[in-house]
Chain A
Amino acid sequence: MTLPPLSEFLRWLREIPAPFRGAPAGFPGGRTQVRAVVADLFETHFGAAPPKNYLEAFDRSDPTELAIGGRGGDGRVELNRLRWVLAACHVLWHPSFRAMPLPKAGVQKLLNQGLAELAAVVPSERIVDSEERREELVRRVLAALGLRLGEETAREAEDRLAQVNSVERRRIELEAAERERRAREVQEEIRRKAEEEAAAKSSRE
């Protein structure tokens, strides 16, 4: 079955229902049980909910723990991650996906690993206000499922995902910053060591 064009997925994500945009249960004003959403998604696509220990990754219902930054380390980080999970579940509910068999392992990995790294560098508000981040989420879902848009070759899909990949962009930014820091450190060390005695050298230049 051919997938719809990118614009259709972007529209679908733009029109994400309010419960998927709001705070998950366990956070101030939050009511959506992410664990239940994920379980429901798996039942829809694969006929059964995933194991309990898998679902625990989406279960952050103890407000005390979250308030002190418990298991998640930082409540805001957890909030961000779970909102990305909700948005990805919404994408996976697109009618075109419901009409085809999906790779269970790909979905599992996306929801508990792939989105965590994305959430670590991009606030979930971008799902609402950034077309590029919506495209990134759609392309991450497609990549996890091993699918591509009908109008694209595998290479084009890969290139476009690389272009909008926030995690990769952040990694490059951090690497560049680290390199600049290192270059400044080296430059400073050169200046400092110029004042110290050097080693003997047996000929002139």
Chain B
Amino acid sequence: MKKKTSGRAVRVDAALRARSPLITAAGARTLHALCEHPHAPRWNHAAGDRLQRADLDAVRKFADDLEARRGPRGPAPAPAILRWTASLAPRVPTFRDRIPAGFDLEAGWDAIPTMSREDVATRAGRLVPDDADLSRMIVYRTAGTTGHALLVPHDPRAAACYSPMLEFALRRHGLRPRFTDRMVACFLVGAQARTVTYPTVLSAWNGAGFAKLNLTAADWKAAGSPDRYFADLAPWFLTGDPVSFAEMLRTGIRHSPAALVTTAVAMSASLKKRLAKSCRCPVIDWYSLTETGPLGYACPRGRGYHVLPHDVHLEALDAAGRPVAPGARGEIAVTGGRNPFLPLLRYRTGDWGRLDFGRCPCGDPMPRLLDLEGRAPVVFRATGGSAVNPVDLSRVLREFPFVQHEFVQRRDLSCELTARPIPGVPRPMPAEVRAALRALLGPRAAVAVKFDAKLGSRAEGGKVEPYRSELLLED
């Protein structure tokens, strides 16, 4: 099934070597094939894993630990988490603010004030350790569909650890990936009006090819190009979200990968069934946030999500930041991880669920997240029928001075935006906002725009649901 790339030598120039320091000759040919295929999409970005040899050694050590250091966990943080926290407490401003000198971490853990998106959004500089070398820092932007987009400081080594975690999840579902630099390991599939796209190779997967691509028609040469490209490059598996996989079905891509790993938002059972049938492969749910990295993968026995990385501590908290009773529903908070520029201390994810520390018949001893209520999948449609991702709407709407907004699409495709303007800033003209939205939804889309200075004030906690759709993903 998996095609191998071959052929003449491809030159590795300095820019490519900087992006992908460990690229091999065969990897360069694979990358060339990804780039130069006659049906390749129009790439708009260049990226590599930036891994040096020492980084790769560290990623492999992490992969070993991921297997070896799994074990039962309890509601209290494990000794390794306490040691990690104690080592950072004097060096990270946000930790110092929360943990006084001499504080007994083990006894007083529940009293440590929690962190939230607010800390990352407004005080990210205070999350970076005093002694961190900023030269290797990279920054990711979150999609901004659940609030304002965040700038998340990250690190190539930590980003590369996603790869062994994906492999682990695949193995747990009975798959045995054997990646080489002569094949394409994975496509990360998106379906947005505009997003970053690039091909590369990943050293953590032995230099195998990888591409982040977008199914929007504007990115491809012809209607049949995505199908041809997928068929010829034959990525071993795909990652994406329910919206992009639903779009993949709609556009008629017939590729049959070894697995689909679906991220970002919960996938309905019916869409999962259709995808599994169409692609003839398992569909594996995956729980990950940009701020935290991957946190969970679907239990192969269907019993929730197992905590994936061994180096995090998860809690379920009540509104006051206290742990809820064992098994009760609470907001998921995370401590630990391996991002040296964003150490997390009781970081509230905004997602809710229950933690189960009991044994699971699937054999993974790590705790499980049950009834996880993450972001619900939302799909909008342009008047022409193409999918419109909330990420795109978010990109358009953040250009306007709104505190928050609610955007709703009805089954008849009509839309309504209610926005709370920023006080003291001139309001945009509704026609201006409508025109920006019609650029995505179609020139004749019915779009009502209204302003409400009290939007959110009436809701509990000031929260509003920024995106709602009466359309089903399967529509």
Contact = CB atoms under 8 A, between A and B. Distances in A.
Chains A and B come from one and the same complex: yes
Interface of A: 179, 182-187, 189-191, 193-194, 196-205
5 contacts: A182-B125, A183-B128, A200-B47, A204-B188, A204-B190
B141 interface: yes
Interface in B37-58: 45-50
B159 A199 contact: yes
B210 A202 contact: yes
Contact of A202 (B46, B151, B163): B163
A183 B210 CA distance: 35
Contacts of A196: 138-139
A197 B139 CA distance: 8
Interface of B: 19, 45-50, 93, 123-126, 128, 130, 132, 134, 137-143, 151, 153-154, 156, 159-160, 162-163, 166, 186, 188, 190, 198, 200, 202, 205, 210, 212, 239-241, 261, 263-264, 286, 288-290, 294
Contacts of B190: 204
Contacts of B162: 201-203
B125 A198 contact: no
A183 B47 contact: no
A192 to B, nearest CB: 9
Contacts of B132: 186
B241 A204 contact: yes
B289 A190 contact: no
A173 B166 CA distance: 46
Contact of B138 (A182, A186, A199, A203): A199
A179 B132 CA distance: 13
B138 A198 contact: yes
The 7 closest A-B pairs by CB, nearest first: A187-B125, A186-B125, A183-B125, A199-B156, A198-B138, A194-B139, A204-B263
Given A199-B47, A199-B50, A203-B166, 16 more contacts: A179-B130, A186-B153, A193-B138, A197-B47, A198-B138, A200-B47, A200-B202, A202-B163, A203-B188, A204-B239, A204-B241, A204-B264, A205-B142, A205-B143, A205-B288, A205-B289
A205 B290 contact: yes
A201 B153 CA distance: 14
A189 B134 contact: yes
A194 B150 CA distance: 10
Contacts of B47: 197-200
Contact of A191 (B151, B212, B261): B151
A197 B137 contact: no
Given A179-B130, A190-B137, A193-B137, A203 B261 contact: yes
B239 A202 contact: yes
A200 B138 CA distance: 10
A205 B124 CA distance: 19
Contacts of A204: 188, 190, 239-241, 263-264, 288
Given A190-B153, A203-B286, A183 B93 contact: yes
B31 to A, nearest CB: 11
Contacts of B188: 202-204
Nearest to B201: A200
Contacts of B45: 197
Contact of A200 (B49, B128, B139): B49
Contacts of B289: 205
